[in-house]
Amino acid sequence: MASDTASTIPPTRPGPRDPSDPAAAVTPTGEEARIEAEAAASGAPDRDKPVEHTGSLGRRMMLIAAGWITILLLVGGLALDRTITNLLERNLDERLNYILTSMVGSAEIDAEGDVWFNRVLGDQRFLEPNSGLYWQIDGTDKEPWPSRSLWDRTLTLRSDHTQAEPVYYNSDQFEGERLRIVERSTTLPGSASDWTFAVAADRAELEAEIAEIRSILFWSFIILGFGLVLLAWLQVYYGLSPLRRVRRAIQRMRGGDEHRVTEPLPLEVQPMVTELNGLLAHSEKQAEEARMHAGNLAHALKTPLTVLVNAATARDPDLSKLVHRETRVMQRQVEHHLARARAVGRRATGLSRAAVWPSAESVLRAVTRLYEDTRFDLDGNKQALVAIERQDLDEILGNLIENAAKYGGGSVFVTVDAQPDDPDFCDIWIEDDGLGIPEKDRIRIFDRGARLDTGKPGTGLGLAIVRDVAEIYGGGAELLESEDLGGLHVVLRLPRSKNARDD
């Protein structure tokens, strides 16, 4: 049997459409057309506006790197300065304590009860006045015995300790000279008095060493900081270079030199480039769909316009009837192509969801009024959900079921979710008991304008629209031979709704 591919369920007479008619569901009202026109007009200038940005990514990374480098260098410098200062002070204390221990070890009591050294202290500075290195011995009820380096001065020692362990402290008792003093109290053999031994050193030499080390640390850390900032800049510059390469590739694509970003890129950038190439492929596919859509519409309108021109040229007496009939054909073509265009827009939202069973019931009620002598059976999963807009589902089911009724032998069988084990797709079978379509013509029949039976009214766009809309949503359509009824078996495959897969 030859099969036509009518694009919608044609009404039997002029007048308002039945709300359950799937073809009526996709016809935009005047208000909808006005809103779409206003949105398109208002959206056009927005594409020319410069895209706002949130600042430089490289500058942001450099500020973070410079901030952390500054903080770490400050903390590290302070810690290192404190450590070196403590080491130098501890070294001075150890030297003073060494001298103090030598003094205690060489001190003896003479016959008169005074202290004397049985060996001379080795440091020559003890003999030079105001040399900056001093010692002194105090005893109970005894005059202090100072080193010659103190000259006419004496050390004022602390008297608030009695322990034999050395005591360290700083003193400003001499004008212009900050002293570091270590003292120790002990009892010498043969003496009933308590003796306090003290060694003092000028801190000027120590502070000069500390100042020199701090200067070295300061300039070293300044150079290190600049070096780290420069290294961070090089890292940012080199690390962001793949993004600049992507930008240049996009500029070349805008100039028409390339169509994809093909150069190898790092792993972190490659997924973004893959998505970009996918977006470009999607845009090209949409552009191709738009060209095909325009060709379909032009093909559909060409024949009615030719008929009208010929009738007008020949001054056909039935011109008014002819105009009415052909303009209704053109109206249906425009409605179908508008429905397809809206399907592309709705598909882009990614939130489409429709229940198959209520849509099939609605279409069957509409088709039953057109083909009262045909028996329609509906079976399958009443809970099936697909990722497609309800209007588009009504449209493609209306095309397929109306074709089955028009070219079948009186029986149409619709099965919803014929293969429920498939987790990703929902198969809808539409079978009739007609003559079917020869296998060699099952691919060609999907082409726009293809018709195998020109004896019945139609535009040759029905199956093309079904295939196009199904593919827009990620599905498809296939023509087979019905094993049960013997006629045509159409397998409409649509992706399941994500919520349905999750359930």
- CATH assignment of the domain containing 310: 3.30.565.10
Amino acid at 93: D
Q: Are 428 and 388 in contact (CB under 8 A)?
A: no
Q: Which two tokens stand for residue 157?
A: 């020692």
Q: Are 117 and 138 in contact (CB under 8 A)?
A: no
Same domain, residue pair 86 and 194: yes
For residues 35 and 42, give the distance between their C-alpha atoms in angstroms, rounded to a whole number.
Answer: 10
Same domain, residue pair 369 and 310: yes
261 within some domain: no
Q: Which two tokens stand for residue 497?
A: 């709704």
48 within some domain: no
Same domain, residue pair 173 and 298: no
Distance of alpha carbon 473 from its chain centroid, rounded? Answer: 25
As for how many domains the chain has, the answer is 2
Q: What does residue 102 show for φ and ψ, rounded to 5 degrees?
A: -65, -40
Domain CATH number, residue 121: 3.30.450
Same domain, residue pair 295 and 170: no
Q: State which of 176, 210, 244 marks the end of a domain.
A: 210
90 within some domain: yes
Q: What pairs with residue 196 in β-bridges? A: 138, 185
Measuring CA to CA, which residue among 159, 156, 155, 181 is closest to residue 168?
Answer: 181
For residues 197 and 137, give the distance between their C-alpha atoms in angstroms, rounded to a whole number.
Answer: 5
For residues 189 and 107, give the distance between their C-alpha atoms in angstroms, rounded to a whole number.
Answer: 10
Residue with tokens 């349905």, as numbered in its chain: 500
Q: Are 395 and 340 in contact (CB under 8 A)?
A: no
Q: State pTM to two decimals.
A: 0.52
501 membership: H or E segment, kind and range: helix 498-502
Rg of the Cα atoms in the chain: 50
Residue-level pLDDT, tens digit, the chain, 503 residues: 334 433 333 333 333 334 334 333 334 444 445 445 544 444 444 555 666 777 888 889 999 999 999 999 999 999 999 999 999 999 999 999 999 999 888 888 887 878 888 888 878 898 899 899 999 998 877 888 899 999 889 998 886 666 678 899 999 989 888 999 999 888 888 777 788 899 999 999 999 999 999 999 999 999 999 999 999 999 998 888 888 888 888 888 888 778 888 888 888 888 888 888 888 887 887 788 778 777 777 877 887 888 888 888 888 788 888 888 888 878 877 776 776 676 666 555 556 789 999 999 999 999 999 898 899 999 999 999 999 988 889 988 998 999 899 888 899 999 999 888 888 999 999 999 988 888 777 776 665 444 444 444 444 456 777 887 888 888 988 888 888 888 899 999 999 987 655 55
Same domain, residue pair 27 and 87: no
Q: Give the list of residues 6+ apart from residue 279 with CB closer than 8 angstroms, or none.
A: none
Tell me which residue range forms the domain holding 170.
61-210
51 within some domain: no
6 within some domain: no
For residues 176 and 456, give the distance between their C-alpha atoms in angstroms, rounded to a whole number.
Answer: 121
Burial 344-362 (b: 16+ CB within 10 A, else e): bebbeeeebebbbbebbeb
For residues 251 and 144, give the distance between their C-alpha atoms in angstroms, rounded to a whole number.
Answer: 92
